Structure 1
């Protein structure tokens, strides 16, 4: 099936995550047909609208071949929606991949290792996003610390990609949508 570059329209139910209990954000899982129209099973950056309110977001893989989207409180408020609402959504792949937000601990490690930073500065936004996803997808704090060290070592040696990482979560069961509170 060819991947869409035109907008994909669908309806989704807004859910509140079970964890953290004090989350001020919501989320929805894309219908499979909408996920299938995206160019990748891994993270996909999109321009879109939620109840007519424009946004740009990076959709996360749900580990089942689909995607889910975190809806920040500001977007929900601007769209006038709340948990439990069924919303009209439109998404299309971005024309140019946005630069990912680098976690502070990874940023500090890169700053401390100029050779790693040089490779980091030379790789694409998608490659950076993959490194960040690999670092942050570990479930334990010590795993994250170890992955940052490994990432910096590999980047310092010129490795441009987070090799052998299941970007979709389908094979490692490492990625999934949040559990809903309801």
Structure 2
């Protein structure tokens, strides 16, 4: 189920990343600011939508510019009849309730080792858990990720329900951005 006040309809160019920005990323679109502004948050947000009439449910990523971007799988592109460089028609609306995020295995293991951290983790909101996971998975190095998992468990064990000092939009910290588009798709 979606929220009607977050509904947007727009056209966007299907872009190809200049370099691999993640496992399986072959194409993406950047939302117009007007569409992004209707969404409930500047960080990760799950939407129900369609591209050229092909339905999907996905999590939009923050682009660090107070907007969002959407990864497009080859399967979704094929179903939508969209190609790199083409204009696609999108309809999106935020889900009324954010789905429970998938907890990475290393974080699951750390939480299982701390009853106090696990108890607070399970007592937080889905959005708070999404932000904790986003903070941890946004680490660029394995060493940083391991430190963030340790810090998260310590903060949770102390009763902290939200990750502090984390800008989930990337706007103030410039931690997030949409992939750079390949020159041939602009």
Normalising by structure 1, what TM-score? 0.90
Task: Say which is worse superposed, 16-25 or 52-61, in terms of deviation.
Answer: 16-25
CA distance in 1, matches of 2:52, 2:128: 32
Q: CA deviation at 1:82?
A: 2.5
CA distance in 2, matches of 1:103, 1:134: 12
Q: CA deviation at 1:114?
A: 2.2
Specify the alignment match of 2:105 in structure 1.
104
CA distance in 1, matches of 2:105, 2:46: 22
Specify the alignment match of 1:67 in structure 2.
68
Specify the alignment match of 1:17 in structure 2.
17
CA distance in 2, matches of 1:46, 1:33: 15
Unaligned runs of 5+ in 2: none
Q: CA deviation at 1:39?
A: 1.9
Residue 9 of structure 2: SS of its match in structure 1? strand
Q: CA deviation at 1:6?
A: 4.9
CA distance in 1, matches of 2:42, 2:8: 16
Residue 5 of structure 1: SS of its match in structure 2? helix
Quote the RMSD (CA, aligned, Å): 1.9
Specify the alignment match of 2:151 in structure 1.
150
Contact in 2 for aligned 1:110/1:152 (Cα 8 Å): yes
Matched, 1:179 2:180: yes
Q: CA deviation at 1:14?
A: 1.2
Specify the alignment match of 1:37 in structure 2.
38
Which deviations, in whole Å up to 9, do the C-alpha atoms of 1:92-147 show, x marking residues without a partner? 11111111122222122112222212211121111111001111112222111100
Matched, 1:121 2:87: no
Normalising by structure 2, what TM-score? 0.89
Q: CA deviation at 1:23?
A: 3.7
- Label 1:116 to 1:6 Cα distance change in 2 as closer, same or farther (>3 A): closer
Which deviations, in whole Å up to 9, do the C-alpha atoms of 1:67-111 show, x marking residues without a partner? 111112232222222322211001111111111122222122112
- Label 1:24 to 1:46 Cα distance change in 2 as closer, same or farther (>3 A): closer
Specify the alignment match of 2:95 in structure 1.
94
Matched, 1:77 2:52: no
Contact in 2 for aligned 1:12/1:86 (Cα 8 Å): yes
Task: Say which is worse superposed, 4-13 or 146-155, in terms of deviation.
Answer: 4-13
CA distance in 2, matches of 1:10, 1:88: 6
